Each structure stands twice: as structure tokens, then as C-alpha cells.
Amino acid sequence: MTLPALLFGFLFATLIGAAFHLWKDGGFGRLILYLVLAWIGFWAGHLLAVSLGWHFLSVGPLRFGMAVLGALLFLGTGHWLSLVKDESE
């Protein structure tokens, strides 16, 4: 993995997390949550594609297609799990 690919990955994952935050309207805490989830999902998707040998929408050494799908999956699941309310209140 080259340094430019690593920086491009973090930049694009940040863009995905920020766009998701704008779409779902959250505060500062939600912004941090969405950025972290996007980063983790992006790199998990990339590593999964590398380990399985998939080349879906590759951009240089970066398995971009699976990385974006991983980020969206993590963001959707994290948002859904963050909506749980405590009924004892």
C-alpha cells in the first residue's frame, strides 16, 4: 500500500462519513461516530477484498468498490444501532 493510496482512502472515507452525517442530521458526537465507522468500514472492506482476491473497482492498490460498500455497511449498521432507546427512563 502506497502513501498516496492510504491518504486517498482516509480522505474518501472521511467524505463518506461527513456526507452521511449531513444526510442524517446529527450533532458533534454523531459526526465523530460516523467518521470512525466510515474509516473502520472502509478499511475492513478493502482488507476483505484483498484477502479474497477481489478486484471490484480497484484504484491502484486500493480495492475501492468493496471499501465503499464496507463503509456504507458499517455506517448503516452503526446508525441503526445508535437509535436504540433505553425504556427505563
Q: How far apart are CA 73 and CA 53, in angstroms?
A: 20
Q: How far apart are CA 51 and CA 36, in angstroms?
A: 22
Q: How far apart are CA 33 and CA 54, in angstroms?
A: 28
69: cell is 460498500
**What are the sequence ranges of the domains in the chain?**
16-81
28: CB partners within 8 A, 6+ apart = none
C-beta of residue 68 within 8 angstroms of C-beta of residue 16: yes
pLDDT beyond 70 at 89 = no
Q: What is the pLDDT of residues 13-68, one digit of tens each?
A: 999 999 999 998 878 988 999 999 999 999 999 999 999 988 888 888 889 999 99
Share of the chain above pLDDT 70, in %: 98
84: cell is 436504540
